[in-house]
Amino acid sequence: MTEGKQITLSPSHKSLFWWYMLGLLLIPLFGIGIYLIYRFYTAHKPVQYIIAERTITAKDHRTSAKIDIANIESVDVNQRWIDRQFKIGNLTLKTPDRAITLAGMEQPNQLAEMILKAAESERQRIKTIEKEVKPDREKPSLTLDKLDYLTGLWQQGLLSDEDYQKEKKHFE
């Protein structure tokens, strides 16, 4: 299970239009068409795409592939002529090291835009977190460096004991 909100998408059965047509044409031929329709429908049914807050997972009955939304560099929409008529298409999500295809998605152009916006938003969120964390890590080392410098001046006799104690209070 994933944490937070998630959306589960499945491929549209419109993407199997030509396979269904072939099955209908082959029904008179010893019922092969009925078997083909059943086979394509059941093979298509277990495929799911789970879009969570920070990841996208593609699952079927055999495999599962997960990518982080922040790593998505581009989303390609592939549509044939008939796919455009049914307003469906395949999305290919590309990261630096892999690609996942979301097959048979309805309204693919809108979905691609939403995924790209989510990826950009996630990258901005990560940058903001990194900026907040970095200053905390740098401050102690800067403070220690300044205190070491001050101690060095005192040890060399360039600062009096009074001045050293006075300046050292700023670091405590």
pLDDT in tens, 130-146: 887 765 555 555 677 78
In a domain, 140, yes or no: yes
Domain assignment of residue 63, given as a range: 6-126
In a domain, 105, yes or no: yes
User: Do 80 and 149 fall into the same domain?
Assistant: no
User: Do 30 and 97 fall into the same domain?
Assistant: yes
User: Do 102 and 157 fall into the same domain?
Assistant: no
pLDDT attached to residue 162: 85
User: Do 99 and 20 fall into the same domain?
Assistant: yes
pTM attached to this predicted model: 0.63
**CATH label of the domain that carries residue 88:** 2.30.29.30
Q: What is the mean pLDDT of the chain?
A: 81
Asked if the model's pLDDT at residue 2 lies above 60, the reply is no
Number of domains in the chain: 2
Asked if the model's pLDDT at residue 155 lies above 60, the reply is yes
Q: Which residues make beta-bridge pairs with 101?
A: 92
- Mean per-residue pLDDT, 82-88: 87
User: Do 12 and 40 fall into the same domain?
Assistant: yes
**Between β-strands 64-68 and 74-78, what pairing exists: parallel, antiparallel or unpaired?**
unpaired
44 Cα distance to chain centroid: 24
In a domain, 1, yes or no: no
d(CA 94, CA 102): 11
135 Cα distance to chain centroid: 27
d(CA 99, CA 95): 6
In a domain, 119, yes or no: yes
Question: Percent of the chain, pLDDT > 90?
Answer: 24
